[in-house]
Structures are given as C-alpha cells and as structure tokens.
C-alpha cells in the first residue's frame, strides 16, 4: 500500500491555495469511514487511510509552519504507521462525551475497552483490535478518550471483503456491548483498503 513521502506532500504555499477544495474532498471521504458503535454515538471508529493521513500531515505542517526536511520526516514517521498495509484496517477509536462529568465517569468505567473492539467479516471469526502500539493509553483509574487500533485480517477475510461480504464492527466490554452492520458505502470504502494476497 502507498505510504506518504515528501514528494506526495504539497508545499505550504500550494496547500494554502488548494486547502478548501482538499478539505471538502477529505470530509466527504471520511463520512462513510466513521462508524458509531453505540446509539448515543459516543464510541466511534474513524478508519484511516492514505487520504486521511495525507490531510492530517498537511494540516500539521500548516499549523506548525513546518517546511524543513527534518520536521517533515518526523511528521511522516508519526503518521505513516496509521495507513493500512493492505491486510489490515487501522482506526482511531474515540470516546466522545461533551459533558466533562459524564466523560470522567465513563472513562473510569470503560478501562480496557480498546482491547474489546472488534470487526467481523461475513461468517468469519471476530478480529479484536491490537491497541495502542505506540504507548499505553490507560491507567488503573481510567481509559483514554483516544486509542489507535489495528485489525489484522487473514487472506480468507480479505477475499471475502473483496467478494462483497458484510462487515460488522462491535465492542463487548462489560459496560458497553454493541454490534453494527456497516452500510454498503462504509463496507465498500473499507474493502478498498485491502489487497488480495499475491
């Protein structure tokens, strides 16, 4: 799968000129890649790919005014690992509560939830997330509101996705249990992240 490099990035000057159009394109692209795991839409998966990370890096370079090679390479090293490699999906998992008191209470209840998030392809077994490979994001008192997840698929699952199998996403934590069926648009967007093994 394609990874970001310096040649694939826009200069700060050029990005300023195209930013509005690029942003609209990315927002439309992200829409089917946001999967809410609960009715309240507080537990959400944002599936990442080359385009979402391209946007993220461009925005970081813009905000931080980074134009030197070393700084650009550091951003690429940070964000390239979040691009799927053709045999997996990568997602940012966010626990989103507007009310501060509710957020504090729920994050204390949901310790370990990042390890209980899964995807399922057709009739295949659930694939539980490999969470937070960069650093530990929870403590004995609470979990983090943001986690980075990787879902590793085997060849049969990849083939089933490419053949149109349904995709499900869910969580089976004692304080939050839910499973959703991805819409056709979401299913197709995630299937496009995968490559059939050679």
pLDDT digits (tens, 9 = 90+) for 138-176: 667 899 999 999 999 999 999 999 999 999 999 999 999
Q: Are residues 103 and 152 in the same domain?
A: yes
Whole-angstrom Cα distance, residue 39 to residue 54? 30
Q: Looking at residue 84, what is its pLDDT?
A: 95
Q: Are residues 91 and 10 in the same domain?
A: no
Q: Looking at residue 152, what is its pLDDT?
A: 98
Q: Looking at residue 197, what is its pLDDT?
A: 78
CATH of the domain at 197: 2.60.40
Q: Are residues 100 and 77 in the same domain?
A: no
182 belongs to a structural domain: yes
Q: Are residues 59 and 123 in the same domain?
A: no
42 belongs to a structural domain: no
Q: Are residues 165 and 101 in the same domain?
A: yes
Q: Are residues 59 and 135 in the same domain?
A: no
Look up the domain containing 107 and give its range: 87-198
Task: Note whether 51 and 26 are within 8 A (CB).
Answer: yes
Q: Are residues 66 and 103 in the same domain?
A: no
pLDDT tens column, 74-126? 999 989 999 999 999 999 999 999 999 999 999 999 999 999 999 999 999 99
Whether the per-residue pLDDT at 137 is higher than 70: the answer is: no
Instruction: State how far the alpha carbon of 141 is from the alpha carbons of 8, 104, 108, 114, in Å.
Output: 42, 10, 6, 15
Whether the per-residue pLDDT at 135 is higher than 80: the answer is: no
Q: Are residues 189 and 157 in the same domain?
A: yes
Name residue, tokens 């934590």: 173
Phi, psi (degrees; rounded to nearest 5) at 88: -150, 170
44 belongs to a structural domain: no
Q: What is the domain count for the chain?
A: 2
| pTM given for the model | 0.92
Q: Looking at residue 173, what is its pLDDT?
A: 97
Q: Are residues 95 and 148 in the same domain?
A: yes
Q: Looking at residue 25, what is its pLDDT?
A: 97
Q: Are residues 9 and 74 in the same domain?
A: yes
Q: Looking at residue 129, what is its pLDDT?
A: 97
């Amino acid at each position: 799968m394609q990874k970001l490099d310096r040649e694939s990035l826009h200069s700060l000057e050029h990005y300023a000129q195209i930013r509005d159009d690029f942003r609209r394109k990315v927002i439309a692209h992200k829409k089917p890649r946001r999967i809410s795991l609960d009715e309240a839409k507080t537990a959400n998966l944002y599936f990442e790919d080359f385009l979402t990370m391209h946007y993220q890096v461009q925005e970081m370079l813009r905000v931080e005014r980074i134009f030197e090679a070393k700084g650009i390479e550091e951003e690429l090293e940070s964000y390239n690992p979040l691009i799927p490699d053709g045999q997996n999906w990568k997602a940012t998992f966010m626990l989103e509560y507007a009310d501060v008191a509710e957020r504090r209470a729920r994050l204390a209840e949901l310790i370990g939830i990042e390890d209980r998030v899964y995807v399922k392809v057709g009739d295949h077994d659930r694939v539980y997330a490999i969470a937070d490979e960069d650093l530990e994001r929870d403590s004995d008192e609470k979990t983090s509101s943001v986690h980075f997840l990787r879902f590793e698929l085997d060849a049969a699952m990849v083939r089933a996705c490419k053949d149109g199998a349904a995709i499900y996403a869910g969580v089976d934590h004692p304080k939050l249990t839910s499973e959703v069926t991805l819409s056709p648009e979401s299913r197709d967007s995630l299937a496009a992240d995968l490559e059939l093994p050679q």
